[in-house]
Amino acid sequence: MRGDLERVLFDEPAIHRRLDDIAAQISSDYRERELTVIAVLHGSLMFVADLLRRIPLPLKLECLSVASYHGEAQSSGDVVLKLATASLSGGGQTTVPHVAGRDVLILDDILDSGHTLAAVRETLETGKPNSIRVCVLLSKKKQRAREVVTDYVGFEIEDEFVVGYGLDFRERYRNLPYIGVLRRELLEQADI
Ligand code: IMP
Ligand code: MG
Protein backbone atom coordinates (compact mmCIF):
# COMPACT_ATOMS: atom_id res chain seq x y z
CA MET A 1 0.00 0.00 0.00
CA ARG A 2 2.91 2.38 0.72
CA GLY A 3 3.75 2.21 -3.00
CA ASP A 4 0.36 3.73 -3.85
CA LEU A 5 1.30 6.93 -2.01
CA GLU A 6 3.06 9.87 -3.60
CA ARG A 7 4.40 10.91 -0.18
CA VAL A 8 3.72 10.56 3.53
CA LEU A 9 2.41 13.76 5.14
CA PHE A 10 2.13 12.76 8.80
CA ASP A 11 3.75 9.70 10.33
CA GLU A 12 2.49 7.99 13.46
CA PRO A 13 4.56 9.95 16.00
CA ALA A 14 3.54 13.27 14.37
CA ILE A 15 -0.15 12.33 14.55
CA HIS A 16 0.14 11.24 18.16
CA ARG A 17 2.00 14.38 19.22
CA ARG A 18 -0.72 16.52 17.68
CA LEU A 19 -3.43 14.44 19.38
CA ASP A 20 -1.74 15.12 22.73
CA ASP A 21 -2.09 18.89 22.09
CA ILE A 22 -5.72 18.79 20.92
CA ALA A 23 -6.76 16.47 23.75
CA ALA A 24 -5.16 18.76 26.32
CA GLN A 25 -6.97 21.74 24.82
CA ILE A 26 -10.36 19.96 24.78
CA SER A 27 -9.85 18.62 28.33
CA SER A 28 -9.16 22.12 29.58
CA ASP A 29 -12.02 23.77 27.65
CA TYR A 30 -14.59 21.24 28.92
CA ARG A 31 -13.39 20.65 32.49
CA GLU A 32 -16.30 20.33 34.94
CA ARG A 33 -18.64 19.60 32.00
CA GLU A 34 -19.86 16.38 30.46
CA LEU A 35 -19.30 16.03 26.76
CA THR A 36 -21.40 14.25 24.18
CA VAL A 37 -19.04 13.22 21.43
CA ILE A 38 -20.56 12.60 18.01
CA ALA A 39 -18.16 10.62 15.84
CA VAL A 40 -18.68 10.70 12.11
CA LEU A 41 -17.77 7.21 10.85
CA HIS A 42 -15.96 5.47 9.24
CA GLY A 43 -13.12 7.87 8.49
CA SER A 44 -12.82 9.18 12.05
CA LEU A 45 -12.50 5.73 13.65
CA MET A 46 -8.74 5.81 14.42
CA PHE A 47 -8.82 9.51 15.29
CA VAL A 48 -11.72 9.10 17.72
CA ALA A 49 -10.18 6.04 19.40
CA ASP A 50 -6.79 7.69 19.87
CA LEU A 51 -8.14 11.14 20.83
CA LEU A 52 -10.76 10.03 23.36
CA ARG A 53 -8.26 7.91 25.24
CA ARG A 54 -6.35 11.13 25.90
CA ILE A 55 -9.37 12.99 27.35
CA PRO A 56 -9.91 12.15 31.04
CA LEU A 57 -13.45 13.62 31.26
CA PRO A 58 -16.82 11.92 31.66
CA LEU A 59 -18.33 11.73 28.19
CA LYS A 60 -20.87 9.95 26.04
CA LEU A 61 -20.07 8.66 22.60
CA GLU A 62 -22.52 8.41 19.73
CA CYS A 63 -21.55 7.35 16.23
CA LEU A 64 -23.11 8.61 13.02
CA SER A 65 -22.47 7.05 9.71
CA VAL A 66 -22.51 9.41 6.77
CA ALA A 67 -22.33 8.82 3.06
CA SER A 68 -21.86 11.51 0.46
CA TYR A 69 -19.02 10.24 -1.74
CA HIS A 70 -20.66 7.10 -3.05
CA GLY A 71 -17.19 5.67 -3.74
CA GLU A 72 -15.85 8.65 -5.65
CA ALA A 73 -13.20 11.22 -4.71
CA GLN A 74 -15.55 14.21 -4.86
CA SER A 75 -18.36 14.93 -2.40
CA SER A 76 -21.77 14.94 -4.05
CA GLY A 77 -23.48 17.29 -1.62
CA ASP A 78 -26.19 14.68 -1.23
CA VAL A 79 -25.44 13.71 2.39
CA VAL A 80 -27.17 10.76 4.03
CA LEU A 81 -26.92 10.51 7.85
CA LYS A 82 -27.55 7.38 9.91
CA LEU A 83 -27.18 6.61 13.59
CA ALA A 84 -24.67 3.78 13.75
CA THR A 85 -26.42 1.98 16.62
CA ALA A 86 -26.81 -1.57 15.39
CA SER A 87 -30.16 -3.27 15.75
CA LEU A 88 -30.96 -6.95 15.41
CA SER A 89 -33.20 -6.25 12.48
CA GLY A 90 -30.17 -4.64 10.79
CA GLY A 91 -29.45 -1.15 9.51
CA GLY A 92 -29.12 2.16 11.35
CA GLN A 93 -31.86 4.62 12.24
CA THR A 94 -32.19 8.06 10.72
CA THR A 95 -33.03 9.77 14.01
CA VAL A 96 -31.13 12.56 15.75
CA PRO A 97 -28.96 11.41 18.68
CA HIS A 98 -30.17 12.62 22.10
CA VAL A 99 -28.33 15.93 22.52
CA ALA A 100 -30.90 18.20 24.22
CA GLY A 101 -29.13 20.48 26.72
CA ARG A 102 -25.78 18.73 26.13
CA ASP A 103 -22.36 20.02 25.16
CA VAL A 104 -21.71 18.38 21.83
CA LEU A 105 -18.34 17.83 20.21
CA ILE A 106 -18.45 16.58 16.61
CA LEU A 107 -15.37 14.60 15.54
CA ASP A 108 -14.61 14.03 11.89
CA ASP A 109 -11.58 12.94 9.92
CA ILE A 110 -11.37 15.68 7.31
CA LEU A 111 -13.08 18.88 6.24
CA ASP A 112 -13.19 19.09 2.47
CA SER A 113 -16.20 20.60 0.64
CA GLY A 114 -18.01 21.16 3.95
CA HIS A 115 -21.18 19.32 2.86
CA THR A 116 -20.86 16.55 5.43
CA LEU A 117 -20.11 18.63 8.51
CA ALA A 118 -22.65 21.31 7.60
CA ALA A 119 -25.34 18.61 7.33
CA VAL A 120 -24.27 16.89 10.57
CA ARG A 121 -24.25 20.19 12.44
CA GLU A 122 -27.67 21.22 11.11
CA THR A 123 -29.16 17.87 12.04
CA LEU A 124 -27.75 18.04 15.58
CA GLU A 125 -28.97 21.60 16.06
CA THR A 126 -32.55 20.37 15.67
CA GLY A 127 -31.92 18.32 18.86
CA LYS A 128 -31.44 21.57 20.87
CA PRO A 129 -28.00 20.99 22.41
CA ASN A 130 -26.51 23.49 24.86
CA SER A 131 -23.45 23.95 22.61
CA ILE A 132 -21.83 22.44 19.54
CA ARG A 133 -18.14 22.47 18.62
CA VAL A 134 -16.40 20.82 15.70
CA CYS A 135 -13.05 19.02 15.80
CA VAL A 136 -11.40 17.65 12.67
CA LEU A 137 -8.07 15.91 12.26
CA LEU A 138 -7.46 17.46 8.83
CA SER A 139 -8.75 20.57 7.10
CA LYS A 140 -8.11 21.23 3.40
CA LYS A 141 -7.12 24.79 2.51
CA LYS A 142 -9.66 25.52 -0.18
CA GLN A 143 -12.82 27.39 -1.08
CA ARG A 144 -15.67 25.28 0.37
CA ALA A 145 -19.12 24.63 -1.05
CA ARG A 146 -20.41 25.15 2.51
CA GLU A 147 -18.61 27.16 5.17
CA VAL A 148 -18.03 25.22 8.40
CA VAL A 149 -16.60 26.77 11.56
CA THR A 150 -14.03 24.48 13.18
CA ASP A 151 -12.98 24.78 16.81
CA TYR A 152 -10.12 22.25 16.84
CA VAL A 153 -8.03 21.31 13.80
CA GLY A 154 -5.22 18.75 13.82
CA PHE A 155 -3.49 19.78 10.61
CA GLU A 156 -4.25 22.06 7.69
CA ILE A 157 -3.35 20.45 4.37
CA GLU A 158 -3.31 21.43 0.70
CA ASP A 159 -6.22 20.40 -1.52
CA GLU A 160 -4.91 16.89 -2.25
CA PHE A 161 -6.52 13.48 -1.82
CA VAL A 162 -5.11 11.79 1.28
CA VAL A 163 -5.52 8.29 2.71
CA GLY A 164 -4.55 6.35 5.82
CA TYR A 165 -5.29 6.54 9.56
CA GLY A 166 -8.99 5.93 8.87
CA LEU A 167 -9.21 7.80 5.56
CA ASP A 168 -10.06 5.69 2.55
CA PHE A 169 -10.19 5.69 -1.19
CA ARG A 170 -12.90 3.27 -2.24
CA GLU A 171 -12.74 1.72 1.25
CA ARG A 172 -9.01 0.93 1.03
CA TYR A 173 -6.01 2.30 2.97
CA ARG A 174 -7.92 2.97 6.22
CA ASN A 175 -5.55 0.69 8.13
CA LEU A 176 -2.35 2.56 7.23
CA PRO A 177 -1.00 3.97 10.52
CA TYR A 178 0.14 7.20 8.79
CA ILE A 179 -1.46 9.74 6.42
CA GLY A 180 -0.22 10.24 2.89
CA VAL A 181 -1.15 11.65 -0.51
CA LEU A 182 -2.54 9.05 -2.91
CA ARG A 183 -0.75 8.90 -6.26
CA ARG A 184 -2.67 10.99 -8.74
CA GLU A 185 -2.81 8.31 -11.43
CA LEU A 186 -4.71 5.98 -9.05
CA LEU A 187 -7.38 8.65 -8.57
CA GLU A 188 -7.53 9.39 -12.28
CA GLN A 189 -7.80 5.72 -13.27
CA ALA A 190 -10.74 5.44 -10.89
CA ASP A 191 -12.53 8.32 -12.56
CA ILE A 192 -12.75 6.52 -15.91
P1 IMP B 1 -16.91 16.91 2.57
O2 IMP B 1 -18.39 16.63 2.74
O3 IMP B 1 -16.53 17.18 1.13
O4 IMP B 1 -16.36 17.97 3.52
O5 IMP B 1 -16.17 15.56 2.83
C6 IMP B 1 -16.08 15.00 4.04
C7 IMP B 1 -15.83 13.51 3.95
O8 IMP B 1 -15.32 13.12 2.68
C9 IMP B 1 -14.80 13.12 4.97
O10 IMP B 1 -15.37 12.80 6.20
C11 IMP B 1 -14.10 11.98 4.29
O12 IMP B 1 -14.75 10.76 4.61
C13 IMP B 1 -14.22 12.25 2.81
N14 IMP B 1 -13.00 12.92 2.27
C15 IMP B 1 -12.83 14.21 1.92
N16 IMP B 1 -11.58 14.44 1.48
C17 IMP B 1 -10.94 13.26 1.55
C18 IMP B 1 -9.60 12.85 1.24
O19 IMP B 1 -8.71 13.62 0.84
N20 IMP B 1 -9.34 11.53 1.45
C21 IMP B 1 -10.24 10.63 1.92
N22 IMP B 1 -11.50 10.98 2.22
C23 IMP B 1 -11.84 12.28 2.05
MG1 MG C 1 -14.58 8.09 2.60
Please indicate whether residue 112 is annotated as part of the active site.
yes
**pTM, full prediction:** 0.91
Q: Which atom of ligand 1 is nearest to the CA of 79?
A: 2
Ligand 2 centroid–CA 167 distance in Å is 6
Average pLDDT of span 121-142:
97
**pLDDT value, residue 189:** 80
Which neighbouring-strand residues pair with 64? 40, 83
99 closest CA partner among 123, 68, 72: 123
The active-site residue, picked from 78, 112, 151, 168, is 112
More confident residue, 70 or 2: 2
Average pLDDT of span 72-101:
65
More confident residue, 66 or 36: 36
Q: Which atom of ligand 1 is nearest to the CA of 169?
A: 21
Q: Is there a contact between 191 and 184 (Cβ–Cβ < 8 Å)? A: no
Closest ligand to C-alpha of residue 140 is: 1
The C-alpha torsion from 150 through 121 and 107 to 144, rounded to 10°, is -50
d(CA 166, CA 46): 6
Lowest mean per-residue pLDDT among 16-20, 71-75, 153-157, 180-184: 71-75
DSSP-derived secondary structure letter, 159: S
Whether 87 shows a pLDDT value over 50: the answer reads: no
Confidence of residue 82 (pLDDT cuts 50, 70, 90): confident
Q: Which residues surround ligand 2, an ion (CB under 5 A)?
A: 168
Whether 181 shows a pLDDT value over 70: the answer reads: yes
More confident residue, 92 or 68: 68
